[in-house]
Amino acid sequence: MADEIVSAIQLIQRTATQDREAFSRLYDRFSSLVFTLAMRMLRGRDDAEDLLQEVFIQVWRQAANYSQERGSPEAWIVNIARSRAIDKLRSIRRMEKSFTLTDDPGRAESAESVESNVAQSEAKLTMNSALANLPEAQRRVLELAYFDGLSQTEIADRIKEPLGTVKTRMRSGIQRLRDMLGTRAA
């Protein structure tokens, strides 16, 4: 694992010197991971491919800014992807909200169910290992935050539970993930 991390670090360092071959290998290594995450978050192939392109252009541009002290290459790239995806999701929600208020009060709920259907039919994602092993209540809050980009307050509102309950479930879920990794996370 340490060798893999060091190798990915070297690819990023070489990318920072305009080494296209290193960048190509970096893409081959992480593109599927970013695309899968993008599909889960944005729920559409076109949007996910756009996001993938944006993420790797940013990686190309900002490779010199990467610092291993802040995390592994995977965590760095995923963080870029999630930040961009969350910006897009929030932008979409703002638009939907605006549209709903001026057009059809019942649209918010229907839009949500459409989202859900799209997620199930188009993304065709299946869960295994870590997520599947979390209790439903913990898994739900982690998914709403991590994949749907909702804040703790928005999650409390969505699942109609007190904010304190949401926080507790998040922390318990993260603790369970830590347990799965062992007593000490890598």
Kindly identify the residues of this chain, within the stretch 123-142, that bind other proteins according to CB under 8 A: 123-132, 142
Helix H, strand E, coil C: the string for 51-88 is HHHHHHHHHHHHHHHCCHHHCCHHHHHHHHHHHHHHHH
Q: 30-69 mask for other proteins (x: CB under 8 A)?
A: -xxx-xxx-xx-------xx--xx--xx--xxxxxx--xx
For residues 166 and 156, give the distance between their C-alpha atoms in angstroms, rounded to a whole number.
6
Using CB under 8 A, which of the segments 91-99, 104-112, 113-121, 150-158 binds other proteins?
Answer: 150-158
For residues 141 and 158, give the distance between their C-alpha atoms in angstroms, rounded to a whole number.
10
Chain positions 92 to 121 lying near other proteins, rule: CB under 8 A, are: none
Using CB under 8 A, which of the segments 2-10, 99-107, 110-118 binds other proteins?
Answer: 2-10
Is position 82 an interface residue for other proteins (rule: CB under 8 A)? yes
Among 4, 24, 91, 135, binds other proteins (CB under 8 A): 24
Q: How far is the CB of 103 from other proteins (least distance, A)?
A: 27
Residue that has been written with the tokens 């709903």 in this structure: 100
- Convert 94-107 to b/e letters by CB count within 10 Å (16 or more is b): eeeeeebeeeeeee
